[in-house]
A and B are shown apart, each in its own frame.
Chain A
Amino acid sequence: MSKYTEDDLREELKTKEYEYGFYTDIDSETFPVGLNEDIVRAISKKKEEPEWMTEWRLEAFKVWKAMEEPEWANVNYEKPDFQAISYYSAPNSKPKYDSLDEVDPELLATFEKLGISIDEQKKLANVAMDVVVDSVSVATTFKKTLGEKGIIFMSISEAIKEHPELVKKYIGTVVPTKDNFYAALNSAVFSDGSFCYIPKGVRCPMELSTYFRINQAGTGQFERTLVIADEGSYVSYLEGCTAPSRDENQLHAAVVELIALDDAEIKYSTVQNWYPGNAEGKGGVFNFVTKRGLCEKNAKISWTQVETGSAVTWKYPSCILKGDNSVGEFYSIAVTNNYQQADTGTKMIHLGKNTKSTIISKGISAGKSQNSYRGLVQVSSRADNARNFSQCDSLLMGNECGAHTFPYIEAKNKTAMIEHEATTSKIGEDQIFYCNQRGIDTEKAIALIVNGFSKEVLNKLPMEFAVEAQKLLEISLEGSVG
């Protein structure tokens, strides 16, 4: 084999097409494009929602109309026309399947192409999947096993009908409707998403997982996820995404709310691989996501994310450390290639005493991409003995990409201990040389180094997911991960 250099890798990265780019032709029932009060009402009606939910949506819509799209992020893109999007699309062969056999075979084939045959997943990974295709939940598995423990795991639209008291109590408490432009939009038009409730003292026996796809051309997807871990419970929640190749930009504005009550722990892992656009930067998904968790006393929320897709990513999974002794963690790998842009990071808001937070962020930029870390660590005056450690490392491949760090640190308490450090580097020639000397070819060497660079975060992913994350890294940085 001829010598494989970093230039070859770069070349390969440029030409590497999105593998999962295909489009399944499923009959969809799609709303006319545009957004107004009638559409909001129609969505609500379609989902057979109670009156309070409709009102809540309309309120959010009012707020949204008065808001402006934020421009502070370090990303450039053509603003989506919110009146040119269809806000609801559901696979037609709904509703309700008792078994997988009833599911549209074409849909199943789609999953197979993605390598996530539900059957296989069920058996091998012991993962309960709430599969979301274009916003409507079509298959929920392991419901029974979970039901025995009292765990509620269903689509949010079902939860609104079946457990209105829980939804009403918690929805919008962590991410209020007027939080930001995209959260308001999501609150008004969210079509579906997942709902999860872990009762007191229950340790969820399996990893809960949803799989998102955007399937219909020109439809935006507005997911709403609400996870509530009651006192002393534990849950690990996985979220993964792939999307078919498309030319026009697709919009994804999700809201995720986590609530960890006293002594509870939530682990939320994401692998995001929306379509990033082609090598010329055409197309690709806009990913504007609001994710936030609230920690009560002694609670812990841990965010882990592997971001490899999307043309534009705007995402800051955050923790509000409200209760004393609560812990927030954020582990992230963001890989950008070609013309991708990512502005991602976290917010750690320390309110309670003895709260701790850890931020580990790894950014890898290649091609002509821009990768930014933007984070906030805030210690309020009552948060005695708050402790934060942040580390942001960037790896640059080529001199046409950029890596940026924008940490905001605000401390108002004298007992706060805050450390932040950031480094930027490239794969050293000496590192490659060292590997070459020992008979490891350059391709493997780069793989080793990138792997080592991101290991700290990959290790935080649940076993079942780590494999997939590895796969996605491979697609994004083909040839570099062995």
Chain B
Amino acid sequence: MDLKEKLVTSFLAFENRVDVDSPVHDIRNEALKTFENTGFPSKKEEAWKYTSLNSVLKHDYSVFPKQENALEYKDIKKYFIHDIDTYKIIFIDGKYSSHLSQVTHDGIDVCLMSSALNKDKYKPVIENYFNKIATKDSLASLNTAFSNEGAYIYIPKNKAVEKPIQIIHFSTGNESAVLLQPRNLIVVEENSHVQIIERHQSLTDNPVLTNSVTEIFANKRAIVDYYKVQNDNQNASLIDHTFVEQKEQTNCFVHTFSFGGKLTRNNLNFYQNGEHMDSTMKGITIIGDKQHVDHNTLVHHIEPNCESHQDYKGIFADSSTGVFNGKVIVEKEAQKTNAFQANNNILLSDKAAINTKPQLEIFADDVKCSHGCTIGQLDESALFYMKQRGIPEKEARALLMFAFSNNVLDSVKIPELKQRITKLIANKLGVNIGFDL
């Protein structure tokens, strides 16, 4: 039985376990139908031209983890940003771990999707926001069909959340292969501010496939700062869908740091519904071996006077493959749009490959839109300069690569996270040259 059939047949069992009367019941049913009709995407589809899911889908994933697993904090401490106080929403094999988490209902809601879906108190928010901007393509629909657990974050008006929120998904590997489908909903009301760090981590070499969907709504003048740390082990794959809807005068940032995982696909869609806003998406990808990272971004400029900035850097070693597929759409009402898109890549090996497709679709005339894309190597003369001055080649290379990716790090606003990322980069480049750690 292939994975698609398995998912479709297990849907009934899933629906019976969760509340059938819930308002999302119809949404789930509808989504399953969509998935049943479309199936998993193949390379024939333009959006999946460079990314094949075959190697990921061949495992016999268990759709529902059979048992609850527990983890000791000391064993997994290193995956936390532990040196600062944070709210934490921790999942182990898709199940919420109250033991490791730190949630709150005090003024803001930092809690679970499952309780938000079941409690009447949250009904208005769910009705207003749930599944409103998620696309109806096959994998997002699959997630919608099985949406039950994940993070639920609601920040009311005029509230700056004083500490960052960490969302971490652990998989224990107690089962031979597991499919996880977390579903997150983040609503930030007027004048509020929140910082979120998300991470997926598997603890053994058993294959894990995560198909995650996050919907983020930023209302007037809100600031949302979202960080994705992707440094999973070599058998874990991640298909992430993040949808951001912005209202006027908002500022949203999404930073994606991709260092690990077997196959990582990031779908990141920004919808700008309002004027005078700014969307920023940045990413650093440093991979090797046979890793594959695919960034698929969309910025939809709907109204005038908005800006968007995209800056993705990639360094590819060994037999790794990188894909960048960025799309900017400027509707004809969206005059005075300023859209910028850059994708810079360095190939370190002849077996590594990069496929990039930065696209512009522009229907308005008074706009400033540009995109740039480069593929190149490290500057030999700069390397020579450093070697002459006694810096070993390996370190010199690492320094150059660090400098190459540095302007993405510049806009990281949590110092401890920045430090952590810097360390991860140094680790990934295999050097210890005492950057400002």
**A residues adjacent to B (C-beta < 8 A):** 72, 379, 381, 394, 396-426
* Interface-centre pick from B354, B365, B368, B370 (highest chain A CB count, 10 A): B365
Type the 1/0 row for B336-376, where 1 means its CB is closer than 8 Å to any CB of A. 00000000010111111111111111111111111111111
A-B pairs, top 8 by smallest CB distance, nearest first, are A396-B365, A418-B375, A414-B347, A420-B373, A426-B365, A405-B360, A424-B369, A412-B353
Pairwise interchain contact B373-A419, C-beta atoms closer than 8 A: yes
Q: A420-B373, A421-B371, A424-B370 are in contact. List 7 more A-B contacts (CB 8 A).
A: A396-B364, A404-B362, A405-B358, A405-B360, A408-B356, A410-B50, A421-B370
Pairwise interchain contact B371-A400, C-beta atoms closer than 8 A: no
Pairwise interchain contact A417-B357, C-beta atoms closer than 8 A: no
- Cα distance, A361 to B258, chains bound together (Å): 34
- Cα distance, A404 to B367, chains bound together (Å): 13
Q: Which of B347, B358, B365, B366 contacts A413 (CB 8 A)?
A: B347
Pairwise interchain contact B363-A402, C-beta atoms closer than 8 A: yes
- Cα distance, A415 to B376, chains bound together (Å): 7
Chain A: which residue is nearest B376 at the CB level? Answer: A417
- Cα distance, A379 to B352, chains bound together (Å): 12
- Cα distance, A420 to B50, chains bound together (Å): 19
Interface secondary structure of B, over-half rule: strand
Pairwise interchain contact A72-B46, C-beta atoms closer than 8 A: yes
* B336 CB to nearest A CB, Å: 11
16 of the cross-chain contacts (CB-CB < 8 Å) are A379-B375, A381-B351, A381-B353, A396-B365, A397-B365, A401-B363, A404-B361, A409-B356, A414-B349, A414-B377, A417-B377, A419-B372, A420-B373, A422-B372, A424-B368, A426-B365
A419: chain B residues at CB < 8 Å are: 372-374
- Cα distance, A160 to B362, chains bound together (Å): 47
Instruction: Known contacts A399-B365, A424-B370; decide if A416 and B360 are in contact (CB<8 Å).
Output: no
Q: Which of A398, A417, A421, A423 contacts B365 (CB 8 A)?
A: A398
Instruction: Known contacts A399-B335, A420-B373, A421-B370; decide if A411 and B354 are in contact (CB<8 Å).
Output: yes
Chain B: which residue is nearest A405 at the CB level? Answer: B360
Q: Which of A72, A408, A422 contacts B371 (CB 8 A)?
A: A422
Instruction: Known contacts A398-B365, A403-B362; decide if A416 and B375 are in contact (CB<8 Å).
Output: yes
Chain A: which residue is nearest B346 at the CB level? Answer: A414
A396: chain B residues at CB < 8 Å are: 362, 364-365, 367
Interface secondary structure of A, over-half rule: strand
Which residues of B in the span 374-426 have a Cβ within 8 Å of any Cβ on A? 374-377
B367: chain A residues at CB < 8 Å are: 396, 424-426
Instruction: Known contacts A411-B375, A414-B349, A420-B373; decide if A404 and B360 are in contact (CB<8 Å).
Output: yes
B354: chain A residues at CB < 8 Å are: 409-411
Q: Which of B353, B357, B368 contacts A425 (CB 8 A)?
A: B368
B353: chain A residues at CB < 8 Å are: 381, 410-412
- Cα distance, A396 to B337, chains bound together (Å): 14
B377: chain A residues at CB < 8 Å are: 414-415, 417
Q: Which of A401, A414, A422 contacts B360 (CB 8 A)?
A: A422
The yes or no answer to B123 lying at the interface (CB within 8 A) is no
- Cα distance, A422 to B357, chains bound together (Å): 12
Pairwise interchain contact A423-B362, C-beta atoms closer than 8 A: no
Chain B: which residue is nearest A379 at the CB level? Answer: B375
Pairwise interchain contact B361-A402, C-beta atoms closer than 8 A: yes
Pairwise interchain contact A418-B373, C-beta atoms closer than 8 A: yes
* A462 CB to nearest B CB, Å: 32
What is the total number of residues of chain B having a CB less than 8 Å from a CB of chain A?
36
The yes or no answer to B157 lying at the interface (CB within 8 A) is no
* B46 CB to nearest A CB, Å: 7
Pairwise interchain contact A417-B375, C-beta atoms closer than 8 A: yes
Number of A-B contacts (CB under 8 A): 114
The yes or no answer to B159 lying at the interface (CB within 8 A) is no
* B322 CB to nearest A CB, Å: 10
The yes or no answer to B332 lying at the interface (CB within 8 A) is yes
A416: chain B residues at CB < 8 Å are: 347, 375-376
Which residues of B in the span 220-264 have a Cβ within 8 Å of any Cβ on A? none
Chain B: which residue is nearest A420 at the CB level? Answer: B373
- Cα distance, A60 to B261, chains bound together (Å): 46
- Cα distance, A417 to B358, chains bound together (Å): 17
* A411 CB to nearest B CB, Å: 5
Which residues of B in the span 54-97 have a Cβ within 8 Å of any Cβ on A? none
Pairwise interchain contact B374-A420, C-beta atoms closer than 8 A: yes
Chain B: which residue is nearest A412 at the CB level? Answer: B353
* A424 CB to nearest B CB, Å: 4
- Cα distance, A412 to B368, chains bound together (Å): 32
* A69 CB to nearest B CB, Å: 16
- Cα distance, A214 to B366, chains bound together (Å): 38
Pairwise interchain contact A409-B357, C-beta atoms closer than 8 A: yes
* Interface-centre pick from A381, A409, A413, A425 (highest chain B CB count, 10 A): A409
Chain B: which residue is nearest A382 at the CB level? Answer: B350
* Interface-centre pick from B351, B362, B370 (highest chain A CB count, 10 A): B362
Q: Which of A400, A407, A426 contacts B366 (CB 8 A)?
A: A426
Q: Which of A72, A411, A420, A422 contacts B347 (CB 8 A)?
A: A411
- Cα distance, A398 to B349, chains bound together (Å): 46
A406: chain B residues at CB < 8 Å are: 357, 359
Instruction: Known contacts A423-B369, A423-B370; decide if A409 and B363 are in contact (CB<8 Å).
Output: no
B376: chain A residues at CB < 8 Å are: 416-418
- Cα distance, A401 to B357, chains bound together (Å): 23
* A101 CB to nearest B CB, Å: 53
- Cα distance, A412 to B352, chains bound together (Å): 6
* Interface-centre pick from B354, B374, B375 (highest chain A CB count, 10 A): B375
Pairwise interchain contact B373-A394, C-beta atoms closer than 8 A: no
Q: Which of B356, B360, B370, B371 contacts A403 (CB 8 A)?
A: B360
B46: chain A residues at CB < 8 Å are: 72
Pairwise interchain contact B370-A422, C-beta atoms closer than 8 A: yes
Which residues of B in the span 1-52 have a Cβ within 8 Å of any Cβ on A? 46, 50
A400: chain B residues at CB < 8 Å are: 332
* A219 CB to nearest B CB, Å: 34
Instruction: Known contacts A381-B350, A399-B335, A409-B373; decide if A420 and B358 are in contact (CB<8 Å).
Output: yes
A415: chain B residues at CB < 8 Å are: 377
Which residues of B in the span 317-333 have a Cβ within 8 Å of any Cβ on A? 332
* A29 CB to nearest B CB, Å: 44
* Interface-centre pick from A396, A402, A403, A424 (highest chain B CB count, 10 A): A424
Instruction: Known contacts A396-B362, A409-B355, A420-B374; decide if A414 and B369 are in contact (CB<8 Å).
Output: no
Chain B: which residue is nearest A394 at the CB level? Answer: B362
* B395 CB to nearest A CB, Å: 20
Pairwise interchain contact A421-B372, C-beta atoms closer than 8 A: yes
A405: chain B residues at CB < 8 Å are: 358-361, 371
B50: chain A residues at CB < 8 Å are: 410
Chain B: which residue is nearest A423 at the CB level? Answer: B370
Chain A: which residue is nearest B329 at the CB level? Answer: A404
